[in-house]
């Protein structure tokens, strides 16, 4: 679980979970009210996880603002750095988190 506090007035939570034996998923409970789901793939060296958009609930269209993908760098045993890209009307906004 990852929690982001203070984005606008809402907090956000991202849950990581297995779907079957070999599929790592994440569901992002966004302050915007949608819940994008993304599937992970690992880099060959195992140090980076890339989550790509699969589908979402409460998302009228994929043209509406939503989290599109997440990259998590596993740099050391401590909490990792992550990059979350938000899709907004065919433009990418890249918040620094």
Q: What pLDDT, in 10s, does the model give residues 14-64?
A: 999 999 999 999 999 988 899 999 999 999 998 888 999 999 999 999 888
**What confidence score (pLDDT) does residue 97 get?**
39
Domain ranges of the chain: 2-93
Cα dihedral value 55, 56, 61, 62, nearest 10: -50
| Token pair 């998923």: residue | 25
- pLDDT of 94 over the 50 cut: no
**What confidence score (pLDDT) does residue 90 get?**
46
**What confidence score (pLDDT) does residue 96 get?**
40
């Amino acid at each position: 679980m990852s929690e982001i506090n203070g984005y606008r007035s809402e907090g956000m939570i991202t849950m990581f979970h297995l779907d079957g034996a070999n599929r790592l998923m994440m569901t992002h409970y966004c302050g915007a009210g949608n819940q994008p789901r993304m599937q992970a793939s690992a880099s060959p060296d195992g140090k980076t996880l890339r989550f790509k958009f699969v589908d979402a609930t409460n998302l009228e269209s994929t043209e509406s603002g939503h989290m599109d993908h997440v990259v998590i760098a596993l740099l050391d045993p401590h909490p990792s750095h992550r990059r979350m890209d938000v899709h907004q009307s065919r433009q990418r906004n890249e918040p620094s988190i």
